[in-house]
Amino acid sequence: MNRIITVSREFGSGGRTIAKMTGEKLGLPVYDNELLAHIAENSGFSRDYINEKAENETLGGLISKSLSGLANYNHISAEDYLWQVQRQTILDLAEKESCIIVGRCADYILRDKADCLRIFIHADRSLREERIVSVYHDASKETPEKRIRNKDKRRSAFYNYHTDMEWGDPHNYHVCLDSGKLGFEKCADIICTLY
């Protein structure tokens, strides 16, 4: 059975960087948001395929069922369609190979379907603000405080909407790590040790 590492992370905590360091150490491919979106985009999943898949899944089934009361199965909303495509992409990846997946509720999606090590990375706000300025300083004109607030709010809302769990609740993860206090290298080492 493939073994998967899922990494959930606060914005600016370095979760993606730690995932990449871990991937290099363990020789595992790392799939982040962008890469997952890219794969999903090119996967050619048709709406029919997704709807069919969705019917066989609890959450998807519920969506389809609730929608079917209002409209045709084929008129699943754009958000739900995207969610189903990304969800299916994650399930397919987990079936294909051992890997590391960053974000996208992968911990929840794979909870009963794969051998998962679930990680949550967080850090003090001040350290995250500093890091955002140094890493993303050209990308946005918003203040780092506002960017963190918005990004975390969106990640939390996304997670809470698509799962029945709470984002950042330690009970959902094998390990929660403070990347600011421990450093990225040590975080990656701990994940390797546990894997």
Q: Return residues touching its own copies (CB under 8 A).
A: 120, 122, 124, 168, 170-171, 173-178, 181-182, 186, 189-190, 193-194
153 burial level (CB within 10 Å; 0-12, 13-18, 19+): exposed
Considering the complex, state which of residue 157 and residue 192 has its C-beta at the smaller distance from its own copies: 192
Whose tokens are 């999903």? That residue is: 40
Q: Which is nearer to its own copies, 83 or 120 (CB)?
A: 120
CA distances, 183 to each of 80, 118, 131 (Å): 37, 19, 13
**DSSP output for 130-167:** HHHHHHHTTT-SS-HHHHHHHHHHHHHHHHHHHSSS-T
For the CB of residue 169, give the shortest distance to its own copies in the complex, in Å.
Answer: 8
Taking the C-alpha atoms of residue 148 and residue 128, their distance in angstroms, rounded to an integer, is 8
* CA 163 to mean position of chain CA atoms: 12
Least Å from the CB of residue 186 to its own copies: 7
SS3 45: coil
Q: Which CB atom, from 72 or from 193, has the smaller least distance to its own copies?
A: 193
Nearer to its own copies among residue 52 and residue 115 (C-beta): 115
CB of 176 to its own copies, least distance (A): 4
Q: How far apart are CA 58 and CA 190, in angstroms?
A: 34
For the bound state, the minimum distance from the C-beta of residue 57 to its own copies, rounded and expressed in Å, comes to 24
> Closer CB to its own copies, residue 91 or residue 176?
176
CB of 53 to its own copies, least distance (A): 29
Whose Cβ is closer to its own copies: residue 61's or residue 170's? 170
Q: What are phi and psi of 143, to 5 degrees?
A: -70, 150
CB of 62 to its own copies, least distance (A): 25
Rg (CA), the chain: 17
